Amino acid sequence: MTRWTRNLILVASLTALPACASTPAQRGLMVFQQVCSACHGMEHVAYGDMSSLGLSPDEIRKWAADQQMPNGTDDNGDPKTRPATATDPILSPYPNEAMGRLANHGLLPPDLSRLALTLPGGAEEIRQILLSYAPTPAGMTLDEGRYYNTALKWKHIGMPPPLQDGMLTYPDGTPATSAQMANDVSAFLDWIAHPHQAERRRIGVYVVTYLALMAFLTFLLQRRIWRAHR
């Protein structure tokens, strides 16, 4: 699917959502919560921002309360944490860069806030990467912490294969195959990298319609005013 059609489907599904079904981006949030967030954060996105994806305040509060936020230091000077709230950012699970690198063979899992915008190829590239893991071919040796992946130029990546068929259960009954999850999570990351996109287009239609009407009226007006001099 091209980026364009996927965006269209996303917009359509966000504007007219049947109560029982869920959108790819909503399912993708589930994949983020249960899989990606083990290593990645979205530090510019707040838990509360998910309300425009259709999450209820209670769902957001519950999700946030399960996450810990740094909260100064205690009386001994040791770092303290507190449960996150809706206005808190979705931080990386690693408290700092050094810990993130230590846990990942020296590589830092990137922040996902804008990844679908800044990664060349965008969300489609993310989907391809997630689908292109394969066993390392015979005769090829990879460094420790590298995984064979045909979507990349050098055929390896630092991220271990994250998705397995059936590793989670979608509440809407969609079978959670790797392909389905890759699809959903890339739709979610596309949504998160283009904040307010559906609203932007919806309002844009009204604005352009209004301006077209104004253009028509001012055209009639100026033609009438100028007619005497033509």
Contact between 200 and another protein per CB under 8 A: yes
Q: Is 140 annotated as a binding residue?
A: no
Contact between 228 and another protein per CB under 8 A: yes
Give the one residue of 1, 12, 177, 219 binding another protein; rule: CB under 8 A. Answer: 219
Closest distance of CB 82 from another protein, Å: 8
How do beta strands 79-83 and 89-90 pair?
unpaired
Of the pair 107, 179, the CB lying nearest another protein is at 107
Are the beta carbons of 192 and 45 closer than 8 angstroms?
A: yes
Locate 87 and state its tokens: 């206005």
Q: Please list the residues that pair with 79 across neighbouring strands.
A: 73
Q: For the window 36-75, what string marks contact with another protein as x by the rule CB under 8 A?
A: -------xxxx-xx-------x--xx--------------
Q: For the window 70-89, what string marks contact with another protein as x by the rule CB under 8 A?
A: ---------------xxx--
Of the pair 42, 181, the CB lying nearest another protein is at 42
- List of residues 6+ apart from 148 with CB closer than 8 A: 133, 134, 135, 136, 137, 140, 142, 155, 156
Closest distance of CB 188 from another protein, Å: 15
Are the beta carbons of 43 and 113 closer than 8 angstroms?
A: yes
Phi and psi at residue 208, in whole multiples of 5°? -65, -35
Of the pair 63, 133, the CB lying nearest another protein is at 63
